[in-house]
Copies of this chain bind each other. A is one copy, B any other.
């Protein structure tokens, strides 16, 4: 009836798993084992060696939860993205994960599925897990950013990228959306297009409002009046794009070009144009956004804006690590980084003169 030295029900599967067990086996204290494993200078080389061997032999693995609790340090960075299946996002994620790995940090990835409610819930989950930093690309519909306050209040670094909040103070990294849209639209204008349709996401999202601005300014530069009947804002899915095409191609005059805010939409437009027997780029020119690999497998290949997602991910990861490490907050100053973009011109927007 004497209780075992460990109160657990299932002793057999526990005895390998604690620092204490290693210590007992070696006849030293847990302190020594702990210090040996963290390579503390006040432990003799000999003891360190013995400990490492015992740990190896027992297949012992530190309990990260206990360690994190004691050290108040989880070594976890949280990430919330709308969808991981988007090319841009998965490229960013890969970059972030690779970068964090170098610093022995782990990344906890969540999808908000474009739902602000779910996003809010995830913020809380990540806070409960005591992540040391949070990286976010918001949903299209996030307008209330107060759920993120828990992080600022707790002084935990918070970095937004790509879809960044408008009126909310925080660190932000984003592509140069204004320039991307401006260059794209300008390019289409230079190819002779005058009725350039624009399909984009909700203007509540800064990304899209900036692109809209770029689009408008390019038109202005060429003294083309903005025709609002050519402009559409909605979630950029394939289905939505086809619906918009139905409207735009309901009656002539048709648009002579499209500048769309993602490549899915550009591809959908191409599909619709094919059905109408319109040929690209002769009858209709196209420019998408993000330079998704898909734009190169369709014919003709589609002009698009490269955002360098891998670099953006690296930036985000490095920034958050800097913030995490220097545990000081630099006053109330926030970093706002705009990364360059590049317009990749392809067949879909080629001038006709060349083909004649």
The segment out of A20-28, A88-96, A210-218, A316-324 that lies at the interface is A88-96
For residue A59, which residues in chain B have a CB less than 8 angstroms away from its CB?
A: 150, 153
Interface membership of A229, Cβ < 8 A: no
Nearest B residue to A298, CB-CB = B297
For residue A65, which residues in chain B have a CB less than 8 angstroms away from its CB?
A: 65, 68-69, 74, 129-130
The segment out of A42-50, A102-110, A246-254 that lies at the interface is A102-110
For residue A62, which residues in chain B have a CB less than 8 angstroms away from its CB?
A: 128
Chain A 93-125, CB-CB to B under 8 Å as 1, else 0, gives 110011000000011111101000000000011
For residue A91, which residues in chain B have a CB less than 8 angstroms away from its CB?
A: 85
For residue A267, which residues in chain B have a CB less than 8 angstroms away from its CB?
A: 297
Q: Is the CB of B69 within 8 A of A155?
A: no
- Extra 17 A-B pairs, beta carbons < 8 Å, given A63-B130, A98-B113: A13-B153, A13-B154, A13-B155, A59-B153, A63-B128, A64-B125, A65-B68, A83-B94, A84-B90, A84-B93, A84-B94, A85-B90, A85-B94, A106-B125, A108-B108, A297-B298, A299-B299
* A contacts, CB < 8 Å to B: 13, 16-17, 59, 61-66, 68-69, 74, 83-85, 87, 90-91, 93-94, 97-98, 106-111, 113, 124-125, 127-130, 150, 153-155, 267, 271, 274, 294, 297-299
For residue A125, which residues in chain B have a CB less than 8 angstroms away from its CB?
A: 64, 106
Q: A84-B84, A85-B87 are in contact. Are A111 and B128 (CB under 8 A)?
A: no
Once bound together, how far apart are the Cα atoms of A108 and B78, in whole Å?
Answer: 10
For residue A271, which residues in chain B have a CB less than 8 angstroms away from its CB?
A: 297
Once bound together, how far apart are the Cα atoms of A69 and B70, in whole Å?
Answer: 11
Within the complex, which residue of B69, B98, B106, B124 is in contact with A108, where a contact is CB–CB below 8 Å?
Answer: B106
Output the residue of A13, A16, A69 with the most chain B CB within 10 A.
A69
Once bound together, how far apart are the Cα atoms of A110 and B94, in whole Å?
Answer: 9
Q: Is the CB of B94 within 8 A of A111?
A: yes
For residue A93, which residues in chain B have a CB less than 8 angstroms away from its CB?
A: 84
In angstroms, how far is the closest chain B Cβ from the Cβ of A44? Answer: 26
Q: Is the CB of B94 within 8 A of A129?
A: no
What are 28 residue pairs bridging A and B, where the CB atoms are less than 8 Å apart in the complex? A17-B154, A61-B124, A61-B127, A61-B150, A63-B128, A64-B128, A64-B129, A65-B65, A65-B68, A65-B69, A65-B129, A66-B69, A84-B84, A84-B90, A84-B93, A85-B87, A85-B90, A85-B91, A90-B90, A97-B110, A98-B113, A106-B125, A107-B109, A107-B110, A108-B109, A274-B299, A294-B294, A297-B298
Once bound together, how far apart are the Cα atoms of A61 and B149, in whole Å?
Answer: 13
Once bound together, how far apart are the Cα atoms of A61 and B63, in whole Å?
Answer: 22
Q: Is the CB of B297 within 8 A of A128?
A: no
In angstroms, how far is the closest chain B Cβ from the Cβ of A93? Answer: 6
Nearest B residue to A59, CB-CB = B150
Once bound together, how far apart are the Cα atoms of A93 and B111, in whole Å?
Answer: 10
For residue A61, which residues in chain B have a CB less than 8 angstroms away from its CB?
A: 124, 127-128, 150
Nearest B residue to A17, CB-CB = B154
